[in-house]
Amino acid sequence: VTTFVAPATVAEALPLLAAGGTAVAGGTDLVVAARSGRRALPPAVVSLHRLDELRGIERSGDGSLRIGALSTHADLERSGLVRSGWPALADAAVLVGSPATRNVGTVGGNLANASPAMELGAPLLVHQARVETSGGRRLGIEELLVGPGRTALEPGELIAHVVVPASAASAYVRLEYRRAMEIAVVGAAAALAVDEAGRIEEARVALTAVAPTCVRAPAVEAALREATAAVFGDAAELAAEAASPISDVRASDRYRRAQIAVIVRRALELAHERVCM
């Protein structure tokens, strides 16, 4: 038997979670996994849907973006603020599942579920985002994502907000076999700042679905520093150094490894087009 409660405030939710309750936001990972028989529904479910404190997408005084954990992928997709200032996040949100999935699946759920193929991981990594938790902790995305399905959250601790600093132009691209209802085979995000002479001042690159978590690609970033767009192809070849892909139903490790450079180059080119817009 599963019990279900829907507290009205975070203060009411925390003791229920501390007592062993499991948070559910949109339910598109948790409930769908239970329905399909992959994982049993937990014995005590604490729904977050009434916690308005965890909603909203706004710009803070320091120019950073503050995203409530209950914001949905559709909220990101529709936000003019996100599309103009943090476009890799909008690129990623648009790719998630179907409109139904995007309308209920949340940012907090995507991060806490910690799938290596999660869409928001790589864009948040290149934008150097951090999460603020209900315990008052601030964790960088690379600290939060510990392994497949594992995060650094303490039992009963919630992701409350995601804070994304003001940043360079960005893009997220994924390789998939069809345009919708697909999970990333390989994905890449890039963030770039370029000076007037076309020299790259800042470059960050992160990969999806090719390692136990979404990861940065430091060798690519180093190769781009002070270079120009002419090196994108060669720099992208170095991305596989950050990868340890597995073979699964969607692709072999060899295929994934072969595609990484292609997807990284496309992400760099799209981010670069946006710098120049």
Ligand X SMILES: Cc1cc2nc3c(=O)[nH]c(=O)nc-3n(C[C@H](O)[C@H](O)[C@H](O)COP(=O)(O)OP(=O)(O)OC[C@H]3O[C@@H](n4cnc5c(N)ncnc54)[C@H](O)[C@@H]3O)c2cc1C
Residues at the site binding ligand X, with contacts judged by CB under 6 A: 22-30, 32, 48, 69, 95-97, 101, 104-106, 108-110, 112-113, 118-119, 153, 158-159, 181, 183
- CB burial readout 7-46, b (16+ within 10 A) else e: beebeebbebbeeebbbbbbbbbbeeebeeeeeebbebbb
Q: How far is the CB of 188 from ligand X (least distance, A)?
A: 14
Q: Taking the complex as a whole, how short is the minimal distance between the CB of residue 93 and ligand X, in angstroms?
A: 9
Tokens coding 152 = 């650094």
Q: Please say which residue, 19 or 276, places its beta carbon nearer to ligand X.
A: 19
| Residue among 108 and 245 whose Cβ is closer to ligand X | 108
Q: How far is the CB of 51 from ligand X (least distance, A)?
A: 8
Give whichever of 162 and 238 is closer to ligand X, judged by the CB atom. Answer: 162
* CA dist., res. 139 & res. 159, Å (int): 10
What tokens were used for 99? Answer: 């409109």
Please, what is the minimum distance in Å from the beta carbon of residue 53 to ligand X?
Answer: 11
In angstroms, give the least distance from the CB of 165 to ligand X: 21
CA–CA dist 145, 23 (Å, integer)? 18
In the complex, minimum distance from the CB of residue 213 to ligand X, in angstroms, rounded to a whole number: 13
Instruction: Tell me whether residue 67 or residue 240 sits nearer to ligand X (CB atom).
Output: 67
Please say which residue, 9 or 201, places its beta carbon nearer to ligand X.
9
Whole-number Å distance between alpha carbons of 12 and 123? 32
β-strand pairing of 44-47 with 3-5: parallel
The three-class DSSP label of residue 157 is coil
Least gap, CB of 125 to ligand X (angstroms):
14
Between 235 and 267, whose beta carbon lies closer to ligand X? Answer: 267
The DSSP code sequence of 168-213 is -EEEEEEE-SSSSS---SEEEEEEEEE-TTS-EEEEEEEEESSSSS
163, 64 Cβ separation under 8 angstroms: yes
How far apart CA 188 and CA 210 sit, in angstroms, is: 10
Q: How far is the CB of 71 from ligand X (least distance, A)?
A: 10
Q: For residue 191, what are the CA distances in angstroms to 88, 186, 202, 253?
A: 8, 17, 8, 26
Q: Nearer to ligand X by C-beta: 16 or 235?
A: 16
Nearest residue to ligand X, using CB?
109
Select 69 or 125, whichever has its Cβ closest to ligand X. 69
